[in-house]
Structure 1
Amino acid sequence: MNELSTTSMTAQRKWRLVVTRYVAAINAYVAKGLAEGWDACGEEPSMVSLDETLPAWRAALEAANAPGASATDRAAFRRDWPPAHAPLIDLLSDEAIAISALACLNDHSMLARVGTWYEGGYVLHIVGERVERVPDVEFFGQCPAGRYLALANKDGVVLTDGWHGPQVARLAWPTGREDLPDGVAPAPFDAHPTPLQLIPFPDGKRVLLVSGEGVFVLAEDGARRVYPTREELEQVEIAARDEAEGKDADVDEYPVSLAMAHGAMSPDGRWIGVGSQSDRHWVLDADLQPVARIGPVSEYPHFALFSSDSSMAIFNACHFYSGATLGVAVKDLPGLDTDYYADDPRTPTLQEGARVYAAVHRGDEFIIGDADGYVRAFSHTGEQRWQQYIGSTVTAMAISMDGKTLIVATYAGFLCTFALDAPGAEPWQIGTGAHREVQRWVFWKSWDRPMLW
């Protein structure tokens, strides 16, 4: 008799048995595919339905997080109900809350921005198993060198020297009239641009603001629009006037609406990468002057990141849920000008298949999070190192300054912490690396607070 068909099996026992068997099967399948080629693998393993166990899983999770429950209770729940993504898929569209920004702080705590950029959101400070709401902060960003934090609300952006550190600058939001072509005088923004990213410069004096309304550099003496560039805006203005000619149309409002806007900064502050889906990748210098324009190796530019030693950058472009990532040494940036899919030795393709939403760097490897729920690591030369499956699109990542702790968030409402290069990966982890998941929070709409799994 199939063990899973017995009616006497408890929901908890069935969950654990199904999850661990599926993980063992899928890890063996992936290992064979990587070693022998995917044609040799046969049919991909599937998971037995656990729908009937979900009420018991939810009740046990809530009990483990109830007032009075202990860390021992939560550890027992995690052991008895091992984390998994597949059994929850049908619930996610109604329940999941995405986390759109993360930061690893020097005291080993973390910041998380709960909610996507297009939703109302809030910021949490997470210390071990304790969660605290950060008052009067709507969004945040951490400088790539890890020192400065940008804390934003409707009144502007405050720069602090570390978490709870002294304020070093207070910066106003852009007005919308910055760096426009001559003769264009649009109405100011009705409200401040909604941040997709906030990246403090490593000198603690400026902040890169990435938004759908444009990419700006905020400073105490005012904001500068750095993308779209003035040259590109002039072309838009000319086209708008040509279209409006004879129609009594007004181009003074001059809207800028960027899809897939993204930005990155080198930890030494010398280079800024920016882009959107309708353009090539751009690189600016510290004086905000364009120095390079790089053709993507997939359809739509989507993401950028510099290495922790500021010697290299990666640029990802996507096509549906797939994509490709190229690399370029910063020494090759000045004057670099390549077209789409250029076969240029200065911009080799380092990874194919991933639409990248978040990434970090440590040592000699980039660690990316993709639209398929995978965290993937590859070297500066494109050697594929390891992968770890979490499930659902990865929305944000951060890494500790010592490179030992990785935090990853997804659209499923998961916030996972990994001890990198730590022996003893759990039997429910799907992946090829020796990295142990040590904590998982679940952010769902039916709970007024996150739950520890």
Structure 2
Amino acid sequence: MSLSNSNLSPQQQWHQAVLMYAKRINRYVETGTREGFDGLPEPRMPDSTHLLPHWQAALETSNQGPHDEAARQAFRQDWPPAHFPLLPRLESQGRMIPALALLPDGSLLARIGAPYEAGSVVHIVNDQVETLEHVEFFGMCPRRRYVAWARTEGVQVTDGWNGPQVASFPWPDGHADLPQGLDQQDTGRPSPSRLIPFPDGRRVLLVSADGIFVLAADGATRLLRRLEDIQQDLADGVAPDDLTVGLCMEHGAVSPDGQWIAVGEQCGSHLVFDARLQPVAEIGPASEYPHFACFNQRGDRLLLNACHFYSGASLGVAVTDLPGLATDFYSDDPRTPVLQDGARVYAAASRGDEFIIGDAYGYLRAFSEAGEERWQHYVGSTLCAMDISPDGQTLVAATYAGIIVRIELDRGRPDWQIGTGEHHEVQRWLFWKDLAKPLLW
């Protein structure tokens, strides 16, 4: 699809293309939802590659000088945010942002860079970005009080993001709790893909490709891979040299009261442990590979996602049903109903009676705890981190494209926004590899 009027300025062409495409996509979704998508042609993206240099130059100019909120909002009106015009840049410029937290004062913490690569943790206040020294990763407890920090010497926990230290743990031995004589490559200390302090600040759930551990004052306990599973592999004839103890699609969650720990990885079922680190539930996934876990804000319901390629399915289970629960793959057990079918989930939040998930196709999707679809909101790229304010009014999300967005929920949908929800994105940060500094859009 080419832009119709070459006499327009680059800014005008951008504005026209973004609004036109959003209008056509929203009409397409509305019609398909009402009448079905079979035979309904999906709108093509406008050709906007030639506009990228003009947009970037204008954005860099808008980021110079003192902070001026009115000028920034005027820029967003002239150059409305959109994902499709950025596609030519994302493969070379995008950076995963695997951890994101919305702090009580409205500022943000973010980890820039995938867990397996060198990265940084930044503090974002208004239009300023500060890199935190000697911090490699971070995570916030489910009650939003304690923060865990990964440093060279170990994991520390502070009371508040800049508060006093309340606990400190050395990095666990990657060979801890493994059978004697098992010859495994020394991968060094684990690189966290998630860090979750318990609500009392005394323990930390460390999720990594080298294992999932609970760090405590008396040492680290490995939850995955489980010793009994490794021993069973050996008993089944798997040669020690062929035995895999590393994890793929590793994930974990801690309930708001600290009484339940949900963990998993691609090989096996969803697992839940109690506060004493005893296994209490083994739940068969609703798709091929366990991929994500999340408790709701009240802590009385657990969402478990499994994936297949870039799709997936999420089931829900009441916490009261966890003790002794054991189900097979694709079970039709009424205690584990499928709440959402179609999304491979990388991040999630909850408010009231709904879960909000981020999928592999760039959509935020909301549905009730009973499985009723509520709304969808398009950001673009794969959503990989998310947080929500305690009052449920502000949502922040981050993507593999190196983008962080701040969304005011239920504020009304602007005409450039793709989605069915009445939500307004008010801020967008770009953390691209070749930028001299992050850019605020």
TM range (shorter): over 0.9
Whether 1:451 aligns to 2:439 is yes
Whether 1:238 aligns to 2:227 is no
Whether 1:321 aligns to 2:273 is no
Deviation per CA, 1:43-96: give whole Å up to 9, x if none: 111222011111111110111112457434322221111011111112110111
Quote the Cα distance in structure 1 between the aligned partners of 2:331 and 2:246. 27
Quote the Cα distance in structure 1 between the aligned partners of 2:126 and 2:176. 43
Amino acid at match of 1:214: G
Identify the residue that residue 37 of structure 2 maps to in structure 1. 38
SS of 2:434's equivalent? coil
Task: Select which of 113, 138, 141 maps to 1:140.
Answer: 138
Task: Select which of 96, 100, 103 maps to 1:98.
Answer: 96
Quote the Cα distance in structure 2 between the aligned partners of 1:296 and 1:131. 40
Q: 1:23 to 1:274 in 2, by over 3 A?
A: same
SS of 2:202's equivalent? coil
Quote the Cα distance in structure 1 between the aligned partners of 2:4 and 2:336. 55
Identify the residue that residue 425 of structure 1 maps to in structure 2. 413
Whether 1:195 aligns to 2:212 is no
SS of 1:126's equivalent? strand
Quote the Cα distance in structure 2 between the aligned partners of 1:102 and 1:69. 23
Residues 394 and 406 in structure 2, CA contact (< 8 A), matched pair in contact too: yes
Deviation of the 1:395 alpha carbon: 0.9
Superposed counterparts of 1:38-437, under 5 Å:
38-39=37-38, 42-68=40-66, 70-181=68-179, 183-184=180-181, 189-239=186-236, 242-244=237-239, 256-422=245-411, 424-437=412-425
Range that drifts further, 218-227 or 359-368: 218-227
- TM-score, normalised with respect to structure 1: 0.93
Deviation of the 1:420 alpha carbon: 1.3
Quote the Cα distance in structure 2 between the aligned partners of 1:210 and 1:384. 30
Deviation of the 1:188 alpha carbon: 9.2
Deviation of the 1:31 alpha carbon: 1.3
Residues 107 and 123 in structure 2, CA contact (< 8 A), matched pair in contact too: yes
Deviation per CA, 1:193-234: give whole Å up to 9, x if none: 010100000010000001111100011221111112221121
Identify the residue that residue 28 of structure 2 maps to in structure 1. 29
Residues 419 and 436 in structure 1, CA contact (< 8 A), matched pair in contact too: yes
Amino acid at match of 1:365: E
Q: 1:255 to 1:176 in 2, by over 3 A?
A: farther
Quote the Cα distance in structure 1 between the aligned partners of 2:390 and 2:46. 40
Amino acid at match of 2:45: M
Deviation per CA, 1:97-146: give whole Å up to 9, x if none: 22110011112211000011122110011112221111111000000111
Quote the Cα distance in structure 1 between the aligned partners of 2:260 and 2:302. 10
Deviation per CA, 1:409-439: give whole Å up to 9, x if none: 11122100011122x3221111111111111
- TM-score, normalised with respect to structure 2: 0.96
Amino acid at match of 1:194: S
SS of 1:57's equivalent? helix
Amino acid at match of 1:95: Q
SS of 1:99's equivalent? coil
Amino acid at match of 1:122: S
SS of 2:98's equivalent? strand
Alpha-carbon RMSD across the aligned residues, in angstroms, is 1.9
Amino acid at match of 1:102: L
Residues 175 and 189 in structure 1, CA contact (< 8 A), matched pair in contact too: no
Residues 154 and 192 in structure 1, CA contact (< 8 A), matched pair in contact too: no
Q: Percent identity?
A: 55
Q: 1:320 to 1:3 in 2, by over 3 A?
A: closer
Amino acid at match of 1:379: S
Residues 386 and 431 in structure 1, CA contact (< 8 A), matched pair in contact too: yes
Residues 176 and 188 in structure 1, CA contact (< 8 A), matched pair in contact too: no
SS of 1:382's equivalent? coil
Deviation of the 1:5 alpha carbon: 3.6
Quote the Cα distance in structure 2 between the aligned partners of 1:159 and 1:444. 30
Amino acid at match of 1:142: M
Unpaired stretches in structure 2, ≥5 consecutive residues:
none
Residues 2 and 47 in structure 2, CA contact (< 8 A), matched pair in contact too: no
Amino acid at match of 1:323: G
Quote the Cα distance in structure 1 between the aligned partners of 2:187 and 2:313. 37
Residues 212 and 256 in structure 1, CA contact (< 8 A), matched pair in contact too: no
Residues 49 and 88 in structure 2, CA contact (< 8 A), matched pair in contact too: no
Quote the Cα distance in structure 2 between the aligned partners of 1:108 and 1:9. 39
Q: 1:255 to 1:6 in 2, by over 3 A?
A: closer
Q: 1:68 to 1:419 in 2, by over 3 A?
A: closer
Unpaired stretches in structure 1, ≥5 consecutive residues:
245-249
